[in-house]
Amino acid sequence: MIKCHLSRLMGEKKLKVIDVARDTGINRGTITRLYHETATRIELDVIEELCRYLGCEVGDLLELQSRTESPLDS
């Protein structure tokens, strides 16, 4: 599972979804889905733009969380 830390990063900078959408040109719905962690896919240009805007690395925005059992463990 991939965890998105957009809500935390935005909270630290006291940003609203509409602020990020306006300043980056990213669709508000896309930002909302990432904020609430309901997105099922993300375009690479969106990740790049968010990282540039927030002044963070991809690893600060997205985190791969381990599952209880990986298919490679079998």
63: pLDDT strictly greater than 70: yes
pTM: 0.86
Cα separation, 67 vs 11, whole angstroms: 27
pLDDT digit string, tens, across residues 17-41: 999 999 999 999 999 999 999 999 9
What residue type is assigned to position 29 of the chain? G
Q: What is the pLDDT of residue 74?
A: 54
| Count: domains in the chain | 1
CA 63 to CA 3: how far, in whole Å?
Answer: 5
pLDDT at 70 over 60: no
pLDDT at 73 over 70: no
- The domain in which residue 31 lies consists of 2-68
For residue 73, is it within any domain?
A: no
Side-chain half-sphere exposure of 16, counting CA atoms within 13 A = 3
Domain containing 58 — which CATH number?
A: 1.10.260.40
Q: Is the CB of residue 51 less than 8 Å from the CB of residue 61?
A: yes
**Does 18 fall in a domain?**
yes
